[in-house]
Each structure stands twice: as structure tokens, then as C-alpha cells.
Amino acid sequence: MLRLSKDEAIRFLGKQGILAAFVIFMLVFALAEAKFISADNVLSVIRSSAIIGVMALGVTFVVVSGNLDLSIGSMMSFSTIVVLDLHDKIGPVLAILAMFSLTLLLGALIGFLVGYLRLNSLIVTLGMLSAIHGLTLTYSGGKNMDISDKSSWFSFFGQDSVMGIPVPILIFALLAALLGIILSKTPFGRKIYAVGGNGTAATFSGISRSKTVFFCYLISSFCVATAGLIQASRSLGSQNTVGQGLELEVLAAVILGGASLLGGAGTIAKTVVGVLMLGFIQNGLLLMGLQFYVQFVVTWVIIILAVWLDIAGKRGKLWSPLA
Amino acid sequence: MNTPTPVLRLENIVKTFPGVRALDGVSLSVLPGEVHALMGENGAGKSTLMKVLGGIHQPDEGQVIVNERPVVMNGPLEAKALGIVFIHQELSLAEELSVAENVYLGELPTKGFGRVDWHELYQKTDAILAKLKVGFDAKTLVKDLSIANQQMVEIARALTVEAKVVIFDEPTASLTDAEKRVLFDVISDLQANDVGVVYISHRMEEIFKITDRISVLRDGQYQGSVATKDTDEEGVTQMMIGRKLDLTRKESNHELGKIALEVRNLSSGKAFNDVSFQVRSGEVVGFYGLVGAGRTEIAETLFGLRNKSSGEILLNGEVIDVKSPRDAIEKGISLVPEDRKGQGLVLGMNCRDNMTLPQVDDITAGPFVAEGAEIAIFDQYRDSLDIRTPGWKQDVGNLSGGNQQKIVIAKWLSMKPNVLIVDEPTRGIDVGSKSEIHKLLRKLASKGLAVIVISSEMPEVMHVSDRIVAMYSGRVTRTFECGEVTEDNLVQAISGVSKLA
Ligand SMILES: Nc1ncnc2c1ncn2[C@@H]1O[C@H](COP(=O)(O)OP(=O)(O)OP(=O)(O)O)[C@@H](O)[C@H]1O
Ligand SMILES: [Mg+2]
């Protein structure tokens, strides 16, 4: 006899609930607005999610290791501005190389502060958020950056398609596959879970916490640089604040995907789902004609709901005095 | 004389977790003023049963009856309101808060407008602490206390309410003898006040010292209850594991090998001073002393977790410098640490991944972790250590306390070390598995391993060691060769008395 108790039902909802809610959401929108599931719209949602998505991949590493990264938005502005500026001066190839090196340097700095000096990641990356913003403004003198030659092949990363698939989506997919394998299949990935789950036990197992955390930030900054490249290539010109506020959206996508802010839990696949969910929800609301600002509120309500369902599922109750 | 009405009855309790039937129709009653032992192997369901009683788990079937009235409890505070107080196997304190705040957590005394009445809080807490004769006060932060003292804070919690039933789940696992005596006094006070006490422990000598009745669980099923005075260790063991236990130490006549590990005049800050000893391959050396004698710190220094301030460590005759646990591991040293939850395991990670964590760099196929090889390691040690778990995918946090400890032991045995250091290896482990682990340590030694056993249990060190190093307050007071040791001179050596002589 199959019997589903209330607790089990809640646990099931918690496990599959976010996904189920998402499927229902998609169905409702698809029925209400046929355009929503048109190939064009779907592709455009994924494409516009690619920048958030690429950064969310890196942030997943950081979050699983038990830390936060709030500096990615401002770091992305920095990458975008730098590559746009250098493009005209030293050509696209060198510009891209230089931009990646500089961004990785910033990631290494954060990794050093959080990993080796054991400073609190919230404080460090919050500080870096404004420090990097200052750096960007100093670099650009506060001016917008533009590429003069609008026909440069540099536009490939943001504007072209390969076999009908936009390049940003390809980059996102390739990077997701690569990083997904690293996180789930390699010894390094396993160590990240250990460090995020219980740093002391990881140390007692001969794992270097410092090194592990350091590399997570390095990966995160690599993803940020990639996102900056896509952004710059797509617009071929940019303001100093292009990445502003993205850190919260990225974090939202990562949490929506089910990574734990306490560290030790989360996967790349789930993050990708989180990214797509966020993208489609925002797009759906926009199609419904909801005002842009209302979107922020609705997005957050959905996220809170997701987190709550997740926790409720883990403890098998909607509310419990035990956390 | 008619029997008093039970303060508490459990009827046909069933509780299942995915893949495990933890409790299978268990009934139990607790009388006022009795100390009732609950016994069973690791994973038998003792903690789960008590969590049902404490309102933490809701039973799938069956009833909890308090004072002849069926009750449904939706949380520990509701249980507490009914007079059921639970002292957990795993510490559950808020480390950043003071002792007083922890003792009265969730029910801080208040004055007008919901403000906390700190004065009353500290006063009431200090009064309880005085009863427990502890050496710290209400304002101390919990994170500054030793594990043993944190355990005393848990116990203090039980004394804040008019309890009808107090449950102790392995309270003595990390207590010193003196602290144990205080605890037993507290228990007999409770008993005198007609409180029913449920007492879970794997330590037979305690069970026979303080309990009136023993109930036994096996694989989630109730095996029966007996009056403590009508049975003995053998009888209880028989009930628990369904067979007799072979406690004889198999004397293997293996030759001792060369000196594997030698420590010369080693010191580390204030923790220990001028310590020298040798361990041959094939030998088990026991380290005995009170909590705080510096034994754990020596282990940490050998394992690269702590800096030495002077002295040297020699491995196979060569001076070595161990800078990190990684160093130690590469040199063939393994350490089973004393705190399984804090240092031994990553809760939230599955059993297999926990077990293979120190060697994850080495079991690879190309750039990837070789999961098949990992599962093989897991299977091997699950069988040889009899680890009860539905499978390798199980979150290690869902295992019973004793089975978690076995995972930690397996994790370090599977490293195939040359020197194995185990710190309180059988804490929380049932009698059957305990003797299995002792046999295993002897067997490993007979195969040429050098073993260091740190333990606060005298029978354990005496049973398992070839030689015993006794420590007091950071110094080695005496090294006992095989055959020299008696209980009396061992007690003397660790209490600092012999230093006066
Ligand atoms: N939250 C949980 N989820 C899944 N399984 C659980 C959970 N809690 C307990 N179990 C399982 O239930 C069984 C009984 O566990 P329990 O902790 O009650 O054992 P125990 O008798 O207290 O053992 P020990 O002496 O080792 O403390 C074990 O098989 C354990 O793995
Ligand atoms: Mg238990």
C-alpha cells in the first residue's frame, strides 16, 4: 500500500518543489502568452542570462567553499572597461589577455585575503566591491569607453552565432560543462565540499583550506572576466557601472539553484537551473507587462519562497523550532 | 507493595527514516525515582527513541503517554513543558553565547517590556553551577570551555525546570572521573526527588553502578527489561548482541620491530614539556592521563597541527619536521582525532566521501576521482568494522554516534599508515564493536604497525597496550613496561602523586 504522510509530502515538495513551481510557472505563462515559449524568446532569454550565468558558475565554487563573493559586479565593470579601452590601443588579442590577467590578479588578491589571511569573505568582497569600482573610475577617468572600429571581430563573443546558437550561450554551456566536471568529479572539487562543509575536518584530513579557497576565488574571477568579455563584445561600448548590482542577481540564481550559503552544498547543474529559472521568471513578468521595478520585488518573493521550501523539505516540516 | 504508576510510557513506537526502520514497535515505561538504563549496539535506535520522547522526532506509529495521558509533542520546548528534559549525545550549544544564556535558552527570565533580567539569569545559573561544582561561572562564553565542561552546561540545562523525566544520552563520553562523580551525585539527587532518569551509555561499569533497571534494544526492536541486580555484564551483552563476547586478548607472539617513532625532549608551549618516548613497529603504546594532561596535544604535534617549541621527532631513525597534516600523511602517520563531529567528519557529506577524504588525491583515474575504487574501499571497511548504514550514499550525519566513529577509524585505517595514532578511539562505541576495535588494533600491530592509543579509560589502555606512558600536567610521569602496570600505580602516576615520592 502506498501511503504518503504529510511529512513525506513536504519532504518531496522540498526536494522537487522549486522545480515543480518552475514548471507550473512556465505552463501558466505559456498558456497566457504564446510568445513566451517561442524559440526566439527562449533563445533570447538564455542569451541574456548568459552573463549572469557565467558569473554564477564561479560564484558556485566560492559559495560551496563556504564563502561569499560580492565583488563580482564591480569586477565585471572593471574587466569590461579595461578590454574596451585596450582594444583600440593594443589590439583585441592582447587586450583580452591583459584583461584576463588583471582580473585574475584581483581574484588572487581576494583569494589571498580570504584564503590565506582568513579574513571574513563578506567584509573582504564588500570592500573590494567599492575598491574595484574606484579602480575602474580612476582607470577610465569616469568616461564611458567605446571601441572605434565597430566592425572588429571582437564582436564575435557577444553578437555572433555558431550553427545558429549565439556565442554567449555556447560559452556559458562549455564553461558550465567544464566547471561542472571539475566540481563534481575531481579531487579538487571534493576538497571544496570538504572545506565548505567542515573546514576543521578538512584540515585534519590533510587538505589545505587556504589553497582550496584561493583557487575558488581565482575561478570566480576567471568567470567574471569571461562575463566581461561577453558584455564588452556585445555592446562594444560601456559605462563604468555596467556590472552594478549583478552580484545580488547572481547570488539569487545560485541560491535558487539550491546551494547553501553555509557552504558544502550546491552543484553546477543546479546553478544552471537557478540561472534559467531567474531568467524565465523575469522575462515572463516583463511579457506580462509588469513594470520593470515591480520585477525586483516579485523576483525576491520567489527566491524567499524557494529558500523556504528548500529548508522545509530538509527538515520535513513547514516550520520547526529547530533550525 | 503495589508498583507505582509510570511517569512515562511509550507504546509500540515505530519510526522510519529513508532506508532504515530505526524503531520497530518499541514499548518502554519509566517509573518515578528510578534510573533506567537503555542499552543496545550502535545504531540500535536508542537516540532515536529518546528523540521521540524529547519531541524532536514524531513517531510514525505508537503513543507517548505522560502521567497516563497520551501526548503529542511538536518540539523540545513542548516536551520540556511536560517535564521531559533531554541531554543530548551530541553537544547542541550556542558557542558564541554565555553559559547562562545557553542554560536558559528559549526561556530567559524577563522583566518589563520583555527585557532580559540579566541579574536574575546569572544568579539562577550560578546557583545551578554551584550544585555541579564546576570551575567556571555563568558569564563564561561556551566557546571558551572544554568539551567536558560544555557537557556540564548541557547537564545544567536539565536542572532548570521541575523535571519529571531526565534523559541522559551518553553523558559521560567525554567527562573525567571527577566530573562523572558529580554527575552521578546529580542523578541520585534527581532520583531522591522522584524524577525518572533514562540513562544511555556503553560503559558497563557505570550501568551497574547507578541504574536500577536495564532495557535493551536490538535493531530497533525491544528485547526486554531486567532489574540491574538480577543480571551481569555478560547477560546484558547477550541481550544486546545475541551472543557471548570473547574478551580475551589474543596474545600474538610477533617480534617487535625497529623503533618506528621516537620523540626526544619534545615541548610545545605550555601544553607539554620535555616529553620523550619510543614506539616500535609491532607495538601498541597507550597514553593514559587525565583530560588536559597534554596527550592530545602531543598527537597534534606529531600530526603537524601544532608547532613544537623544542625537541625532535624521529621517524625510522631519521629526524623529521612535520609542518602540516599533509606532511604527516605523506610520511605515513595517521591520526584518529578525539572530536568526531568537529575534527573527524564533514557532516552533510556522504559516508564514502568522508572515508576517502585524506586520499582523494591518490585514488584517481586520469584527472578524476575513481569512484569505483572509493566504493570498494568503503565496502571493505563497512564489512570489517561492521558499520551500520543503508549504503555509501547516506549522509554521515544520519548515522548513529558509534557508527560515525567507525567511519572516522576506517578513514584513517584505509590510509595504510606506518604509525597510527588514535585519540579516544572507542568513545561512544558499543561493547561488541569496542572489543572488535581493540582486536583490530592488536592485529594491525602484529602486522608491523606502530600504534599509539590515547584513552581516558583505564580498562581500555590496560587491555590494549604493550607499554603505557602515564602523563600528568604536560609531563611524562612514568613509562610502564609490559607486566609492570597495576591499577594502583597507574592511578598514582597520572595524579601527580608519584612526583612527590
Ligand atoms: N535523521 C536520520 N536520518 C536517517 N537515518 C537516521 C537518522 N537518525 C538516525 N538514523 C538511523 O537510525 C538508526 C538508529 O540510530 P540511533 O542514533 O538511534 O542509534 P543509537 O542506538 O543511538 O546508536 P549509538 O550507540 O551509536 O549512539 C541508525 O541506523 C541511524 O543510521
Ligand atoms: Mg546514540
pLDDT in the model for residue A13 = 61
Which residues in chain A have Cβ-Cβ distances shorter than 8 Å to B361? 187
At A296-310, the pLDDT tens digits run 787 777 777 767 776
At A198-208, the pLDDT tens digits run 999 999 999 99
Q: Is the pLDDT of residue B312 over 80?
A: yes
Q: Tell how many helices (H) and how many strands (E) occur in chain A.
A: 13, 4
Pairing type for strands B272-280 and B368-369 reads unpaired
pLDDT in the model for residue A18 = 67
Mean pLDDT computed over B126-144: 87
Ligand 1 atom nearest B51 alpha carbon: 18
Q: Look at residues B483, B473, B477, B481 and name the one whose alpha carbon lies nearest to residue B499.
A: B477
Which residues in chain A have Cβ-Cβ distances shorter than 8 Å to B364? 187
Measured in degrees and rounded to the nearest 5, phi and psi for residue B372 equal -60, -45
Cα B304 to Cα B335: distance, rounded to the nearest angstrom? 10
pLDDT in the model for residue B402 = 86
Is residue A238 included in any domain, yes or no?
yes
**Are residue B232 and residue B335 in the same domain, yes or no?**
no
Inter-chain contact B326–A206, Cβ cutoff 8 Å? yes
**Are residue B79 and residue B204 in the same domain, yes or no?**
yes
Cα A197 to Cα B343: distance, rounded to the nearest angstrom? 11
Domain count across chain B? 2
Q: Residues A207, B327: contact at Cβ < 8 Å?
A: no
Cα A18 to Cα A41: distance, rounded to the nearest angstrom? 22
Residue A35 has a CB neighbour count (10 Å cut-off) of 11
Q: Which residues contact B370 (CB under 8 A, 6 or more apart)?
A: B363, B364
% of chain B exceeding 90 in pLDDT: 50
Which residues in chain A have Cβ-Cβ distances shorter than 8 Å to B347? 197-198
B432 CB less than 6 Å from ligand 1? no
CATH of the domain at B459: 3.40.50.300
Alpha carbon A280 to its chain's center: 15
Q: Look at residues A56, A104, A226, A102 and name the one whose alpha carbon lies nearest to residue A158.
A: A226
B contact test, residue of A205, A262, A315 with most B CBs within 10 A: A205
pLDDT in the model for residue B459 = 86
A8 touches chain B (CB under 8 A): no
**Are residue B237 and residue B294 in the same domain, yes or no?**
no
pLDDT in the model for residue B67 = 85
Domain count across chain A? 1
Is residue A318 included in any domain, yes or no?
no
Q: Look at residues B377, B406, B373 and name the one whose alpha carbon lies nearest to residue B389.
A: B406
Provide the 8-state DSSP code for B350: B
First to last CA, chain B: 56
Give the domain range for residue A183.
Answer: 34-144+153-310
Residue that wins the pLDDT comparison between B356 and B456: B356
Beta-bridged to residue B196, according to DSSP, are B165
Pairing type for strands B259-268 and B115-116 reads unpaired
CATH of the domain at A243: 1.10.3470
Q: Look at residues B175, B212, B173 and name the one whose alpha carbon lies nearest to residue B31.
A: B212
* For ligand 1, mutation pick of B398, B405, B408, B429 (most atoms within 8 Å of CB): B398
pLDDT in the model for residue B296 = 92
> Residue B169 C-alpha to ligand 2 middle, in angstroms?
7
B402 CB less than 6 Å from ligand 1? yes
Q: Look at residues B283, B241, B296 and name the one whose alpha carbon lies nearest to residue B427.
A: B296
Q: Mark which of B241, B269, B287 sits at the end of a domain.
A: B241
Per-residue buried b or exposed e for A85-107, using 16+ beta carbons within 10 Å of the residue's own CB? bbbeeeebeebbebbbebbbebb
Alpha carbon B44 to its chain's center: 16
Is residue B269 included in any domain, yes or no?
yes
**Are residue B286 and residue B426 in the same domain, yes or no?**
yes
**Are residue B301 and residue B215 in the same domain, yes or no?**
no
Average pLDDT over chain B reads 88
How confident is residue B487, by pLDDT bands cut at 50, 70 and 90?
A: confident
Is residue A286 included in any domain, yes or no?
yes
Q: Is the pLDDT of residue A321 over 60?
A: no
Give the domain range for residue B432.
Answer: 259-348+416-494
- Within B245-388, strands assigned E span 259-268, 272-280, 284-289, 310-315, 318-320, 333-336, 364-365, 368-369
**Are residue B333 and residue B482 in the same domain, yes or no?**
yes
**Are residue B282 and residue B159 in the same domain, yes or no?**
no
Beta-bridged to residue B279, according to DSSP, are B261
Q: Look at residues B388, B403, B419, B299 and name the one whose alpha carbon lies nearest to residue B345.
A: B403
Strands, sheet with B450-455, edge to edge from the N-terminal-most edge strand: B333-336, B419-423, B450-455, B284-289, B467-472, B475-480
Is residue B227 included in any domain, yes or no?
yes
pLDDT in the model for residue B1 = 47
Strands, sheet with B318-320, edge to edge from the N-terminal-most edge strand: B272-280, B259-268, B310-315, B318-320
**Are residue B152 and residue B236 in the same domain, yes or no?**
yes
Is residue A270 included in any domain, yes or no?
yes
Q: Residues A50, A168: contact at Cβ < 8 Å?
A: yes
Q: Which residues contact B154 (CB under 8 A, 6 or more apart)?
A: B87, B88, B91, B92, B93, B171
Q: Is the pLDDT of residue B74 over 50?
A: yes
**What's the complex ipTM?**
0.87
Residue B487 has a CB neighbour count (10 Å cut-off) of 10
**Are residue B192 and residue B305 in the same domain, yes or no?**
no
Inter-chain contact A194–B56, Cβ cutoff 8 Å? no
Inter-chain contact B357–A321, Cβ cutoff 8 Å? no
